[in-house]
Structure 1
Amino acid sequence: MKALILNGGSGNGRGEACRKIKDAATQEFRSRGLEVTAYDLDGMNIKPCRGCFACWVKHPGTCAIQDDAENVVRSIVASEVVLWITPVTFGGYSSALKKALDRSIPILLPFFIKVHGEIHHPQRYEKRRKILAAGTLANPDGEAPLIFHGLVRRNAINMASLRTETCVVSENADDAAAADAVRGLLLAAEIS
């Protein structure tokens, strides 16, 4: 089984908690026998989606922009578990993670289907995955975690996730707290 970690943390202080989560997740996945691929998105050459839909109409399944996002998308398609890690900003993702997720639309088809009364795009590939997300917060914020959980769940529906679990960790968390958060995610997602 393959696990993919998309670390949207930056190289500055806000990214330190994300790095701790990434390191803990790598160790936890490997201890469960999963093959792990991890990307530190902030240091990669991933340009923003242009919204040109070339990935749907000109060359289906392939983005017109040739950069590091191509490898990220291939890894998403090949994985059974994907973990998104990001500082939570106004309840949302870091720009690095947002760009990578936006650029993953080639895994969808340009058609529409109805799922539980909602309109969605069908998946291009049969393989489905579990999507986990770990956010970090600098200071307690009553609404940001709720917004983050909701955003992740909505995005996971669009990606036809088999299971979706989220957590939010303090940016001041030590290695043990990061590891506990990751173990909690894996337990909730039934990844043993």
Structure 2
Amino acid sequence: MKSLILDGRSELDNSEIQKLHDIILKELKKNQCYVNDIPLREKNIAPCQGCFDCWVKTPGICKIDDYGRIIAEQIVKSDLVIHLTPITFGGYSSELKKAMDRTISLVLPFFKVVDGEIHHKQRYSTHPCLIVIGYQNSPHLEFEETFHTLVHRNVLNMEAAFYKSLVVNNKQDLSKFQADFQNCLEEVKYHNK
């Protein structure tokens, strides 16, 4: 299984989130996954310009020639995408958000109705499973709820066969996270048969 980690940590993030990263790598390797681990903070990714050239002038390809193009390409080629991010006021880190914005090229400029809501049509017929892991230094219920809602709403446009959002804080035992992540991988394997 091809897995892609989009690591949204900054240089300032603490060692606890590094422990999550280490567990993720260990479990993926234990499951014999091919791992493409991208530390976004080390990549040159410009913000999306909102020009929609990737829809109308160069379909599926962003006009900005930087690492954002590679990320979109790697997502399409993956069976599983993992987002690792500190939670910022219930949202993603700026590094992860910037990378995610640049993946708008993966959907079409056409719309469809899903459960009474308007969503983008997909450019590609297959979609990776998604596991989104958010880290908080201390528990904050409102930020956690916002994070889960944000992930759910993003997944509606991604059409992932399976997704799970996990929130971890420094008060939790990492063995619980490891067990939760293992369960997610089992679900991903089921959906990638």
User: How does the TM-score come out when normalised to structure 2?
Assistant: 0.90
- For structure 2, the residue ranges without an aligned partner over 5 or more in a row are none
Q: CA deviation at 1:91?
A: 0.5
Residues 131 and 165 in structure 1, CA contact (< 8 A), matched pair in contact too: yes
Native 8 Å contact 2:80 2:129 kept in 1? yes
Matches within 5 A, 1:139-150: 139-150=138-149
Alpha-carbon distance in 2 for matches of 1:147, 1:6: 20
User: What does residue 57 of structure 1 align with?
Assistant: 56
Moved more, 40-49 or 18-27: 18-27
1:119 paired to 2:129 = no
Q: Is the 1:2–1:79 Cα contact (8 Å) retained in structure 2?
A: yes
- % of aligned pairs identical? 40
Deviations for 1:129-163, whole angstroms, at most 9, x for unmatched residues? 21111100011111111110110011011111111
Q: CA RMSD in A?
A: 1.8
Mapped pair 1:86 → 2:78 = no
Paired residues of 1:8 and 1:18 also in contact (CA < 8 A): no
Does structure 1 conserve the Cα–Cα contact (< 8 Å) formed by 2:139 and 2:171?
no
Write the distance in 2 (CA, Å) between the matches of 1:49 and 1:171. Answer: 33
Separation of aligned partners in 2, 1:124 and 1:183: 30
SS in 1 for 2:141: coil
Gaps of at least 5 residues in structure 1 are none
Q: In the alignment, is the contact (CA less than 8 A) between 1:7 and 1:84 conserved in 2?
A: yes
For residues 128-143 of structure 1, what are the structure 2 equivalents within 5 Å? 128-143=127-142
Query: Which moves more between the two structures, 25-34 or 129-138?
Result: 25-34
Q: How many residues align?
A: 190
Q: Secondary structure at the match of 1:52?
A: coil
Normalised to the residue count of structure 1, the TM-score between the two structures is 0.91
1:8 aligns with 2:18: no
Instruction: For residue 82 of structure 2, give the secondary structure of its aligned residue in structure 1.
Output: strand
